[in-house]
Amino acid sequence: MAGEASAEAARKSSQELSSQELEEPAPDTAAEEPEFPVLGDDRAAAFFDLDNTVMQGAALFHFGRGLYKRRFFETRDLVRFAWQQAWFRLAGVEDPEHMQDARDSALSIVKGHRVSELMSIGEEIYDEYMAERIWPGTRALAQAHLDAGQKVWLVTAAPVEIATVIARRLGLTGALGTVAESVDGVYTGKLVGEPLHGPAKAEAVRALASAEGLDLSRCAAYSDSHNDIPMLSLVGHPYAINPDTKLRRHARDSDWRLRDYRTARKAAKVGIPAAAGVGAVAGGTAAAIALHRRRR
């Protein structure tokens, strides 16, 4: 159900490409590599993880800061968000227990509020806390796919409303994200299925690709976390961006490309990526299929 809900929300929220010009990275060995992304290849697309791949830190925490400023919750809850963000930065990994704690906090905060209200506030919060934390290098990678005529999707465990706002502001196609339940446009404080995390991301991408008529061997995926190895293994062009230790090791062993923007180092290329299969969860498959039907 997580995949189904997120894929449906993603297709529903996909936007036209913006004409915004973005800074492009300067790869070390561009002349030694075949042209990528391939101009005009409409059977290819790109899938980007959000937290610490596209944006420094966790989107959910920045969103929480904005809600606190608007008196959605009390100081003790902000301290809780701050601790979760500190853990994320220090550990450099997505710890399931801390992620669950963050989601529970967020769900309790938005319960009873209208979806439209949160979407509107999300636009303001993006400008206040998120815009300056977008990694220019990753943003340039996304723009390269857009300039090649390809669709670009965020794929994240963050709430789909937050992900949709960020995707729209960056001029991307849309977002796959965790879906919070709402009745008559009001949040109930529950999730639809499980969070879009780990293997569920891979299955949502697989199902969305099927619905969109994409060839995954020609697609690209980008992430910082070893939790996203299933998604990265699904495509023909996997990239480890600002990788944690486990993902860095796996990328080197698998000859995946690696780029690290955290210390202003130039992109390090690790071989030519190879496609690989990965097992998936049923929820994600149903997700993109339902999304495809709804869009039609």
Residue 13 token pair: 């929220």
Q: Is 28 one of the annotated active-site residues of the chain? A: no
Among 28, 41, 42, 49, the active-site one is 49
| Nearest by Cα to 294 from 58, 59, 6, 98 | 6
The enclosing H or E element of 169 equals helix 160-169
Show the tokens assigned to 256: 């995946």
For 234-270, write each residue's pLDDT tens digit: 999 999 999 999 999 999 999 999 999 987 544 333 3
For the stretch 59-100, pLDDT in tens is 888 888 888 888 877 656 555 555 555 555 544 455 555 556
Q: Terminus-to-terminus CA distance in the chain, angstroms?
A: 20
Nearest to 49 by CA among 151, 202, 185, 180: 202
Active-site choice (51, 224, 228, 244): 51
Confidence (pLDDT) at 65: 83
Q: What is the pTM of this model?
A: 0.73
Query: 156 near 62, Cβ under 8 Å?
Result: no
Q: Find where tokens 């809600």 sit.
A: 67
**What are the pLDDT digits (tens) for 156-201?**
988 888 899 999 999 999 999 988 888 999 988 888 877 888 899 9
Structure confidence by residue, pLDDT tens digits, 26-49:
444 333 556 788 898 989 999 999
Average pLDDT over residues 113-137: 92
What's 126's DSSP letter?
I
Do 275 and 257 form a contact (C-beta atoms < 8 A)? no
Location of structure tokens 């869009």 = 295
Q: Does residue 42 have an active-site annotation?
A: no
